[in-house]
Amino acid sequence: MIWQIGKKEIHHNLTTLRFALMIILLPLLMIANALIYGYGDDGYITQVNAYNRQIEKKLAHVETYAAQSLGELAVIGPGDMPKRPSPLKFCANGSDEVIPRSVIMQEYGAASRSSRFGDFEAYAWKGPWTLRYPLNSFDEGGATHRIKIDWVFIGMLMSFFAILFTFDAIAGERSRGTLSLIMSNTVSRGQVLLGKYLGAFLTLMAPLVIGILMNLLLVQLSGSLSFDSGTSLRILGMVGLFGLLVSIFIFLGLFFSSHVSNPITSLVWLLLTWVFLAFVFPNLLGIFVGNLNPIPSIDEVSLRRKAQLEQSSDQFQPFGASAEPLSSKLNQAPSTENPSATRRWATYFTTQKGIETESIDKHIDQQFQQVQLARDLTQISPIATFQYAMEGLANTGIVSYMNFVKQARRYRQTFIDFIKTEDQSDTESLHIYPVKEGLSQKPVDPNAVPVFEEQISYRSVLAQVGLLVLFNLLSFIMAQVSFLMSEIK
């Protein structure tokens, strides 16, 4: 009986104007998506070529300084860490235009400094490297006003079509008097509800799957996508996300359609609900979080860090105002023959680098926390949850950059540990990090230097899939209870 009701719904849906609109608009959007992301000026191939050039530059950087000495490599650092572009950006753009594609390795001060200590000759030095994150703001919504025709946008449109196909599913039958005829047969209300759900779901998903296949074919012909097992599984997961989102709004449509007396009232309530879930809640909650816990600007952080660095530096200057004893001052150049002076410089570099690293890491962590709080709150909307899950599978968006930064920090410590371990094998070294004169002066094999490799994390996606399943259960219960309590006539 459920399948018979479903077939009747499918037949009815196929003869409506809304189905004709969907069957025209959906392929056009899928084709536009493939053309924009497959053949655009900044397509995947262009990004991959830029990424490969960055990797080659990074390898050349490591080879150059590793050939000089371990100490030189330790101070200069491993080079910038580029973020690999996602081949599935066309599925979920994630505002990647404003998200950096690398973590920059930079010295905390000028490229080179020179100090003179009375009768001692001048000592030219460079401060040890630190990580910098070249982004001032994570305002995803205000980054660009151009609509991204990606799968996330198409998913939002499919949720709109879901309410168009269900706003009159029960209210229309009631107003025409056919609902009482259906219920006069040996059929339960649950069977009627599931039959109408099945009919709407198949009507929406069949054209969507066909459109996705067309889209993937065009993207593959552009050379922007190669179907390996991992990519194929992620695409299948995205199709599943489409199904979960469409299912939620079908149940919402059935809820309102059974709860009100006529189809027009049902449509009005559904449109209001869709607008609030798609636009109002995500934007209002994002603004609320930004005002609730404002973070310092990049200029304020820079000024504060500069003052801390100057105050710390004054403690080490031989002619500064600090009351520190002369034995702790930088009054001699570091060298292998002067371990005490080398240790003082190591203390100075470590202190300066600590201030720099703490300031930069703390500021971006504050931004990350603000973004994460906004995302957690906006997941009250299933459309926002769908978007975040799609970005997670595509490895785009701000969360992918957050994971990238965390991995870059772990690599920073891995690189430092490698330097210290490699230095221990040189018996002639002073083993004083991070002064190049205090470390091994011998070359190091560049192939032994740890290589940074980005790993994709799907932990957040699992939580979002769980939320979408929960939304489905709640909307199904709402629709079922509403239909059971509604009048037939």
Task: List, for residues 155-205, the tens digit of each pLDDT value.
Answer: 999 999 999 999 999 988 888 888 878 877 778 888 999 999 999 999 999
User: What pLDDT shows up at residue 25?
Assistant: 95
Closest to 172 measured CA to CA, from 261, 268, 250, 273: 261
Give how far Cα 159 sits from Cα of 37, 241, 441, Å: 23, 12, 64
Instruction: For residue range 409-459, list pLDDT tens digits in order.
Output: 999 999 999 999 999 999 999 999 999 999 999 999 999 999 999 998 888
Measured distance CA(467)–CA(383) in Å, rounded: 11
CB of 106 within 8 A of CB of 94?
Answer: no
CB of 30 within 8 A of CB of 154?
Answer: yes
Q: Are strands 129-132 and 123-125 parallel, antiparallel or unpaired?
A: unpaired
Give how far Cα 214 sits from Cα of 28, 29, 184, Å: 10, 11, 44
User: What pLDDT shows up at residue 384?
Assistant: 95
Ranges of residues in the chain with a pLDDT under 50 are: 108-112, 118-120, 136-145
Domain parsing of the chain, residue ranges: 2-35+149-269+469-485
User: What pLDDT shows up at residue 328?
Assistant: 65
User: What pLDDT shows up at residue 325?
Assistant: 59
